Chain A
């Protein structure tokens, strides 16, 4: 299934892992292993243990500490997670609220760190770091296009 807007970034990631040119051979090998051996189970855990739970219990986040993700953005994050699982993306390390009402899927491979960020208003951005330096910022289609 094609992923919205994935003509370059996402499909290329599915093919070769990080498209940055800076990931080491080891990290790319790690990416391939993750996809081959358990990416579906990893995504299922992210969806079932976190996103579904957040959706069932929207008051679990303390509004004095963070702006909790809305039911709208939690549902959107579920859709995005399912589509990326189907597209063969390696599962993220974790999913976290961003503190501003959005949600981020985070993944580390070697010295690279990726954060797929769903903003509270529905914009999606993939930010790639290498040794904590921003090396790419890719705007993806908004959550409304991930139905």
Chain B
């Protein structure tokens, strides 16, 4: 019997994961560099279970960037298998109303300045980010 599609099913290696990047933070400027700064992958205080990502199978790019405050976001694209191949653990972490939520469990707000956490942030930006799309919503 197939696993339920409620966000708890395992993340397959070929799944695409998204991380949104606020435009106003100056963390991505394609005129300077096609890669975002590692700061775009630095956990925020609410990343208690790990850095938040979204599964493409549950959210479109526009939905990842959606907000009610008129803010624009870039969206960084990652592949689950690439993260695992680099020793970065990802776990399904469905939230109410957000079944596609994923946590990078070894990268939390509390450990964000540890060597391993810094290495993960750097690898996500410098090696594993497939591309950055947006900004969304388009104006």
Contact = CB atoms under 8 A, between A and B. Distances in A.
Q: How large is the interface on A (under 10, 10 to 19, 20 to 34, 35 or more residues)?
A: 20 to 34
Interface string A94-133: 1011111000101010000101000000000001010111
B115 A134 contact: yes
Interface in B120-139: 122-123, 126-127
A137 B114 CA distance: 11
A114 B38 CA distance: 11
Interface stretch (A3-11, A15-23, A29-37, A61-69): A61-69
Interface in A48-80: 50, 60-62, 64-66
B91 interface: no
A127 B22 contact: no
B121 to A, nearest CB: 9
A104 B122 contact: no
Contact of B22 (A50, A65, A133, A134): A65
Contact of B122 (A66, A100, A129): A129
Given A93-B32, A134-B115, A134-B119, A62 B24 contact: yes
Interface of B: 22, 24-27, 29, 32-33, 37-39, 42, 44, 69, 71, 115, 118-119, 122-123, 126-127
Interface of A: 50, 60-62, 64-66, 93-94, 96-100, 104, 106, 108, 113, 115, 127, 129, 131-134, 137
